[in-house]
Structure 1
């Protein structure tokens, strides 16, 4: 039974991370769709703006609820920023490839990109940012 505790904790973190991700995704996708559909923005810069908005929500929710981190903000914020910057670059790279090179519709492209970046973010935050 003792060996199951780390798995239980990991499962709990994944569920809470997913919930925080939904809140961040609502901000991200809301801004993305609003900028593309109503402001006529190009999908790649629009998704990057959405990524930043979602990132702010993600930091607050994940620090407190997912990882229950006691790491001081002065340490956690710069680490979160480094992980977010990598995620930002991954978002740009995948969205650019999907939308520009493969001519994919921007919302399905964003869904795939979100999955990739969420996996990266969970692992990096769990092992480094909030560890």
Structure 2
């Protein structure tokens, strides 16, 4: 019974993560699309879009997904380095895909986002929004 409850709780958490992350991702992609449309270099547009999404994502993940009780100062001290890692990962993967495999910037970003999403979930759950009792 405890295992079933644990799996159900993890599934609910993952669903909230996907919803929150989806909203932040739409903001990221909208920024990417808008900046590419304005003739920005695709790599810069992706990087700026990732930062826009990260700001929205913090509040969505803090309040909705993880319902964190950590002080914002403490959560931010963990979130900012995590976002930097995610941002660099996003740029590196996007660059590799866009340069060598997928010349369409939107398609390259979709694939990049899928990879970064998995890394983010693990980092947010284990590092950023964890409760004090979590290990």
Question: What's 2:71 paired with?
Answer: 72
Please give the alpha-carbon distance, in whole angstroms, between the structure 2 residues aligned to 1:14 and 1:61: 13
Please give the alpha-carbon distance, in whole angstroms, between the structure 2 residues aligned to 1:76 and 1:107: 31
Q: Which consecutive unaligned segments of at least 5 residues does structure 2 have? A: 131-135
Q: Deviations over 1:42-93 (max 9, x none)?
A: 1111011000110011100101111111011111012111111111001110
Question: What's 2:14 paired with?
Answer: 14
Question: What's 2:105 paired with?
Answer: 106
Please give the alpha-carbon distance, in whole angstroms, between the structure 2 residues aligned to 1:44 and 1:70: 36
Contact kept in structure 1, 2:102 and 2:108, CA below 8 Å: no
Contact kept in structure 1, 2:24 and 2:57, CA below 8 Å: yes
Residue 2 of structure 2 aligns to a residue whose secondary structure is coil
Q: Which consecutive unaligned segments of at least 5 residues does structure 1 have? A: none
Question: Quick check: 1:54 aligned with 2:89?
Answer: no
Residue 67 of structure 2 aligns to a residue whose secondary structure is coil
1:5-44 → structure 2 map (5 Å cutoff): 5-37=5-37, 39-44=38-43
Work out the number of aligned pairs and report it: 130
Question: What's 1:130 paired with?
Answer: 129
Question: What's 2:133 paired with?
Answer: none
- Displacement of 1:107 in angstroms is 0.8
Please give the alpha-carbon distance, in whole angstroms, between the structure 1 residues aligned to 2:129 and 2:107: 31
Residue 40 of structure 1 aligns to a residue whose secondary structure is coil
- Displacement of 1:11 in angstroms is 0.3
Q: TM-score, normalised by structure 1?
A: 0.95
Tell me how large the CA RMSD over aligned residues is: 1.0
